[in-house]
Structure 1
Amino acid sequence: MALNFVLMLTEQDRTIPDAIDVYEKLSVDELRLIAFKDVGTDPHMAKDLTEAAHTDGRSVLLELADTSDAGQEAGCQLALDLGVDRVVGTWRPSAAAAFAGNDSIEYWPFAGAMSGSPLVLDSSPDELATQAQRLSATDGVAGVVLMPYRQTSYDPVLLMKRTASAANVPLLIAGGVRDAAQITDIAAAGAWGFTMGGAALAQRHDDPASVTQRVSEIMRLSRQASPDAS
């Protein structure tokens, strides 16, 4: 199975203000997945970005960075209003129930307990494995998201392997992915894919072409790391 790359049009847990401009200048036909967050975006920009991506044949993921109950509820409604393809948020049974009857939008909750801003993962390997197994058996859950590089207590590879082996749905790795070694580890652990935002966008102000160059390089690394790569 090929390793999927999701380009996050975000920095520091917020959608970048120039997300549409960056997207329109992006020239990587191979890229199939983009994402942004509810924090830092307005409905009009989010709608324009979602429609542009869908017109280009790409899937759109909305991550709900506002972890309050009200924020998660509003984010789920935003996902429905926009018609994105996937929504990522903190685990809420009511969200799973709401998306269980939706044939167009997939619900991917975070595995593990998280706190702070930016979010930090607070769960052990055993806790993650138990929750991943439980979540993936829940109606309405299409995938699970893990942030193994947003903690310092455990080996990120161990966390990924334990979570991937326990889950019966695809595993997406998010937060803190920056280099080729991590991409290789993510693929070897059995994850479905990974996200990258700030590390791919960091040079865009000085060199707008850098985003296309960086995304092309990440796509190449993803192909090389995929288990089915020859």
Structure 2
Amino acid sequence: MELIWTGLLEALRMIISADSEVFQITWLTVQVCIFSTFISTVLGVPIGMLLAFKHFAGKKIILLVSHAGMGLPPVVAGLWVTMFLWRSGPFGEWQWLFTVNAIVIAQIIVSLPILISLSYSAFKKIDDGTRLQIKALAPTKPQSLLLYLKQAQFGLCAAIMAGLGRVLAEVGAAMMVGGNLQGQTRILTTAMVMEVSRGNFHIALALSFILMAIAFMLTFILLRFQQKDVTT
């Protein structure tokens, strides 16, 4: 209990003193997580809608891969990204390994299956009666898209929250492809692992409190958006 209290006090000290390194790590964490979740959402929601409303060859395989991918170990994603971005890999010329770009790619890989699967479920829950009503209105394609998004908004918000939670908690892939370089690729989760390995448990706990605070704030914003849409 004393260690937890010490960690909490250390977190408050870091915030109040505006520790530059902690601020840099925290800001990079927020940027990477929001950007990777945004990309996963932009890709995952349309794919989920397509899987829910269209029939085409290979649909079952895509569904199987997306559902199985929800449990993909981050270190596996990190390993594949590392192989592809390694100097001798297909994309080695990009020189993205041990950069923020590599972390974003790894986080997209681990969160995209979640966005696809949960978006698919959200759109599948729209009953046939609602679909017929939408068709009876004879809307344009953009209008139809907005109507379907409105009907599935509750499930879509849950999908985004789940994807965000996955990338916030991710550490294995980020450590593997980012290298945990100070001032470049170090984020809160990798910094926590490093401090634990050094025996600085109070600092690791302090960083964990900061990470949990970020998770609570981002989730609160999404929940407020979700509840606002439901009540209107």
- TM-score relative to the length of structure 1: 0.25
Higher strand share: 1
Higher helix share: 2
- TM-score relative to the length of structure 2: 0.24
The answer to which structure, 1 or 2, has the higher relative contact order (CA under 8 A, 6+ apart) is 2
